[in-house]
Structure 1
C-alpha cells in the first residue's frame, strides 16, 4: 500500500540531501522515480541541489501544474516506484491532495520534503495540508547556534538583522535565512518583550 510522506524541517536540516539519497536508493535498485521541485526556486542550474554538493534534475511545478495528470501519464509509460517532491511547502492545497491521490489511487509512494513554517512562524499552505493528510510525518533536525533543535526560519536583511515583515516567499539561502530554536527566533523578533 503506497503512502504519502511529509519530511519537514527548518532551513539547513538536509531535506534536499535526504531526498537525493532516497532517489539514489530507488534508482540503484533499478526502479524509476520522478523528481519535482518548485519553479519559484531557481537559485541553481540543477533544480534540486543540496548544500553539500549533491544535485539532480527534476521537473518544476507551478501553482497551475496538475501533478496527478503529469505523474500518471509518466507512470503509464514507465512505471514509477516513487515520486519525490522538494520544496513541498510551495504546493497548493489541490496539489497536496493530488499527491494523496497518487498514493491512494495510483499506488505510487509520494515523498514530500519542505519547510513547515515561514519566517514569521506561520504554516505554508502546502505544508498545512500535508501536515493534515500525510500518512507519515517525519521531522528532520537542524541545530540552532545554542545547540537546541532549530525549528524556526529567521529571515535576515543584508546586514544580518532580523526581518519580521514582508512577503511570505522570498527565495534565499544562508545569506537570507538562519535556522533557530523557538526561543532565539522569538528573541530576535522581539516577541518576548
Structure 2
C-alpha cells in the first residue's frame, strides 16, 4: 500500500540530497518519478532542486494553482520545500497515495524562524502515514530542531514575514536551547 511520507528537519540537514537520491533509486530501476519544488524558491533558479553537496536537477514547480490529482500516473511523487504546500494540496497528495496507490514523499521544514508552523507542514504532520525527522546539529553540538533567520551581518532576526527565501546566508539551524537564548 502506498503512503504519504513527510521527511522534515531544520535547515541544512540534507533534505534535497535525500530526495535526489530517492529519485535516482527509482529511475535506476526504470521507474518514472515526478519531482516538484516550490515555484517561489528561486535561490538557484526556478524549478531547480540543489543540494549543498552540489547536486542539482531541473524539476517541476508547484504554486497555489497546482492540482496534484491531475498528474499522469507515475511510480512516485517527490516534493521538496513541502512546507509551502497549501492545505488542499496536502489533502490531494494524501488522496494520491491512498486512492491511486502512488507513494508520495514530501521533504520540508516543520517551523519557521519564529518557531511557528507552516500550514503545509501542519497538514503533513496530520495526514502523513509515515513521518521521519532528518537529523542535523546546532553549532553547540546538540540536535538542531529549529531555524534562525539572520541578516547580512549574521545578527538574528526575530520578526518579519513568515516566508523569506534564502539559504546559508539567511538561515542557521539551532537546538531549542540556542533558539531561545541567542
Determine the structure 2 residue equivalent to 1:10: 10
Q: In the aligned structure 2, how far is the partner of 1:44 from the partner of 1:154?
A: 21
| Per-residue deviation, residues 111-170 of structure 1 (Å, max 9, x unmatched) | 000000000001100000000110000100111011110000000011111101000000
Q: Identify the residue that residue 84 of structure 1 maps to in structure 2.
A: 78
Question: Post-superposition, which runs of at least 4 consecutive aligned residues in structure 1 deviate over 4 A?
Answer: none
- Classify the secondary structure of the residue corresponding to 1:112: strand
Q: Rg: which structure is higher?
A: 1
Where does structure 1 lack aligned partners over 5 or more consecutive residues?
189-193
For 1:91 and 1:42, the matched residues in 2 are separated by: 16
Q: Distance in 2 between matches of 1:58 and 1:91?
A: 16
Unaligned residue ranges in structure 2 (runs of 5+) = none
Q: How does 1:157-168 map to 2 (within 5 A)?
A: 157-168=151-162
Correspondence 1:106 to 2:107 = no
* SS of alignment partner, residue 150 of structure 1: coil
Secondary structure at 2:75 match in 1: strand
Counterpart position of 2:24: 24
User: How far apart, CA to CA, are the structure 1 residues paired with 2:164 and 2:118?
Assistant: 13
Is 1:152 aligned to residue 146 of structure 2? yes
Question: 1:67: which partner in 2?
Answer: 68
Question: Given the two structures, how large is their TM-score scaled by the length of structure 1?
Answer: 0.92
1:120 corresponds to: 114
Query: In 1, are the aligned partners of 2:151 and 2:157 still within 8 Å (CA)?
Result: yes
Alpha-carbon contact 2:43-2:167 (below 8 Å) kept:
no
Question: What is the CA–CA distance in structure 1 between the aligned matches of 2:58 and 2:99, rounded to whole Å?
Answer: 26
Q: Deviations over 1:65-96 (max 9, x none)?
A: 11111x2xx21xxxx11000000000000000
CA distance in 1, matches of 2:86, 2:160: 20
Aligned partner of 1:176 among 159, 170, 178: 170
- C-alpha RMSD of the superposition: 0.8
1:16 counterpart SS class = helix
Corresponding pairs, count: 181
